[in-house]
């Protein structure tokens, strides 16, 4: 990526339902997310990568239904998005971390 990078941890070892703080990403062309799942044996949780133009009304861009340990990568490229966040729902077990990197 270019010299304008934004790195953030959206969720850090989360063990319950809830949403991360929103991150302003309107200056970036590429946004990549890494979803890390630990301590899941069957029913873990659902993680949504959500986007918004106003920071209040959220649209799900990608949904992960997580049922085992592992890592997933997801990239949003060349879309006009102002804010992003990650949301955990349907939590049953496990620990979840979502990392984000955005760049030009």
CATH at 87: 2.60.120.380
The predicted model scores a pTM of 0.93
Domain that holds residue 95: 6-103
- Token pair of 48, please? 């949504």
Distance between CA atoms of residues 20 and 9, nearest Å:
9
CA angle centred on 7, ends 24 and 13, rounded to 5°: 100
- Is position 52 within any domain? yes
Report yes or no on 80 lying in a domain.
yes
39 in a domain, yes or no?
yes
Reading the chain (104 residues) residue by residue, the pLDDT tens digits are 456 699 999 999 999 999 999 999 999 999 999 999 999 988 999 999 999 999 999 999 999 999 999 999 999 999 999 999 999 999 999 999 999 999 98
Does residue 51 sit within a domain? Answer: yes
C-beta separation of 10 from 86 below 8 A:
yes
Query: Is residue 1 assigned to a domain?
Result: no
Count of structural domains within the chain: 1
């Amino acid at each position: 990526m270019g010299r304008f990078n934004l790195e953030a941890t959206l969720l850090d070892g989360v063990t319950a339902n809830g949403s991360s703080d929103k991150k302003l990403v309107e200056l970036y062309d590429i946004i990549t997310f890494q979803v890390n799942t630990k301590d899941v044996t069957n029913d873990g949780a659902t993680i949504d990568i959500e986007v918004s133009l106003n920071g209040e009304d959220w649209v799900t861009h990608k949904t992960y239904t997580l049922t085992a340990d592992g890592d997933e990568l997801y990239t949003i490229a060349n879309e006009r998005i102002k804010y992003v966040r990650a949301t955990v729902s349907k939590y049953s077990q496990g620990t979840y971390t979502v990392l984000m990197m955005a760049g030009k």
